[in-house]
Amino acid sequence: MTRKNQTLGEFIIENQSSFQYSSGELSKLINAIRLAAKVVNHEVNKAGLVDVIGAAGDTNIQGEDQQKLDVFANEKFIQTLTNREIVCGIASEEEDSFISINSSDEKHQNKYVVLIDPLDGSSNIDVNVSVGTIFSIYRRVTPVGTPVQLEDFLQPGNQQVAAGYVVYGTSTMLVYTTGDGVNGFTLNPALGTFYLSHPNMQFPEDGKIYSVNEGNYIHFLQGVKDYIKYCQEEEGDRPYTSRYIGSLVSDFHRNMIKGGIYMYPKSSVAQSGKLRLLYECNPIAFIAEQANGLAIGGKNRIMDIMPTELHQRVPFFCGSRNMVEKLQEFLNKYH
């Protein structure tokens, strides 16, 4: 149920009963993410002013230079979720392994695990381009009250109970789904309150924007190359427009509003693609499908992939239904 100028807090409470596991825990979990997002937003917005930009001097499991804001965002989300004892486990792009959180209340054991990319697109921080946080929430599969196991995190995306992202752009938005549509909330920085600004977000069936790093073109599979050429041909509603920010959350968010397709294919230089299945592709795919879009890894639906590793990468194609289906026609020609 949505109404004009509803705050995120009001929305969570008023829609809690529609959530099949309405124990209130998920509401507290979304509220914790809301709080952490506001803290991270404050730091992101002043990145140019104080010493939080630039490399932190470490590298993460991906071998990527950790930006200070990466480290800050990772610490804030983990700290907020841990202190409020809402989840029993957390996995993060910035952490080699998952974190087990034991409840201090014997009588109340938590049942949700969160997987998070605390600051995606962080290489854009120093050049003042928007970045984002992506999160994915599951119910644990091992017995409640025991320490979480890796299998609690290696669940297919079709088991997610909630997923969302925060985009720190010209305005800061939190967009999420619990399986009952997608809603976007914009932060009023003066009040520190998120307001419902984009109720029931839906991908346009068709679109005219394609987002891919064309610098990798020569390394792509033939089907992807042919689709990109199709986008560029002078025919019908084409050529399409190429828009690529290099920040998944920003490219996805724009395409969901305007209509478009985002592609990060595998290639001869990225044999499995670049994006991580568990805390980038699955949450974005959940939102895409809830918004009448599609998300595939090639032949297969992203959310049907059975994960084997916490940080595994997959090829990723996601966006307006008609555009993804047209891409599939080209992929099926060859593979």
Contact call for residue 283 and ligand P6P (CB under 6 A): no
The annotation status of 282 as a binding-site residue, yes or no, is: no
Interface with ligand P6P in residues 205-224 (CB under 6 A): 213
Residue 244 marked in a binding site:
yes
State in angstroms the smallest separation of the CB of 246 from ligand P6P. Answer: 5
Q: Is 95 annotated as a binding residue?
A: no
Residue 117 annotated as lining a ligand binding site: yes
What stretches of the chain adopt beta strand conformation (E)?
Answer: 55-59, 65-67, 89-92, 99-100, 112-120, 131-139, 162-168, 172-177, 182-188, 193-198, 209-211, 241-242, 261-264, 293-296, 316-320
In this complex, which beta carbon is closest to ligand P6P, that of residue 134 or of residue 162? 134
Give, in degrees to the nearest 5, the angle at Cα 105 between 101 and 110.
Answer: 50
Q: What torsion do the CA atoms of 154, 157, 163, 168 make, to the nearest 10 degrees? A: 80
- Which single residue is written with the structure tokens 């803290």? 39
Q: Does the annotation flag 274 for ligand binding?
A: yes
Cβ at position 207, least distance to ligand P6P in Å: 17
Shortest Cβ 104–ligand P6P spacing (Å): 36
Contacting range for ligand P6P; rule: CB under 6 A; set: 37-45, 68-76, 226-234, 246-254: 246-254
* CA triple 320-245-287, angle to 5 deg: 35
Is 119 known to sit in a ligand binding site?
yes
- Over the window 262 to 281, marking each residue x when it contacts ligand P6P by CB under 6 A and - when it does not, the resulting string is ------------xx------
What does the per-residue mask of binding to ligand P6P show for 110-149, with x meaning CB under 6 A? ----------xx-x--------------------------
Confirm whether residue 242 is marked as ligand binding.
Answer: no
Q: Which amino acid is at 258?
A: K
Out of 102, 246, 332, 333, which residue is the one contacting ligand P6P (CB under 6 A)? 246
Residues 161-180 interacting with ligand P6P (rule: CB under 6 A): none
* DSSP one-letter string for 151-188: GGT---GGG-SEEEEEEESSSEEEEEESSS-EEEEEEE
Q: Least distance from C-beta 180 to ligand P6P, angstroms?
A: 27
Quote the CA–CA distance of 216 and 269 in Å, as a whole number: 8
How far apart CA 109 and CA 178 sit, in angstroms, is: 21
The nearest distance, CB 281 to ligand P6P, in angstroms, is 10
122 marked as binding residue: yes
Rounded Cα–Cα distance for residues 265 and 263 (Å): 6
Q: Which of 248, 310, 314, 327 is close enough to bind ligand P6P by CB under 6 A? A: 248
Question: How many residues does this entry show for the chain?
Answer: 335
Q: What are phi and psi of 151, to 5 degrees?
A: -65, -20
Nearer to ligand P6P, 26 or 119 (CB): 119
- What gap in Å lies between CA 112 and CA 141, rounded to an integer? 9
Is 213 marked within a binding site?
yes
15 binds ligand P6P (CB under 6 A): no
Q: Quote the CA–CA distance of 210 and 240 in Å, as a whole number.
A: 7
Q: How far is the CB of 327 from ligand P6P (least distance, A)?
A: 17
123 or 322: CB nearest ligand P6P: 123
String marking each residue 67-106 x if it binds ligand P6P according to CB under 6 A: ----------------------------------------
DSSP classification of residue 128 = T
Q: Which residues bind ligand P6P (CB under 6 A)?
A: 120-121, 123, 213, 246-248, 251, 274-275
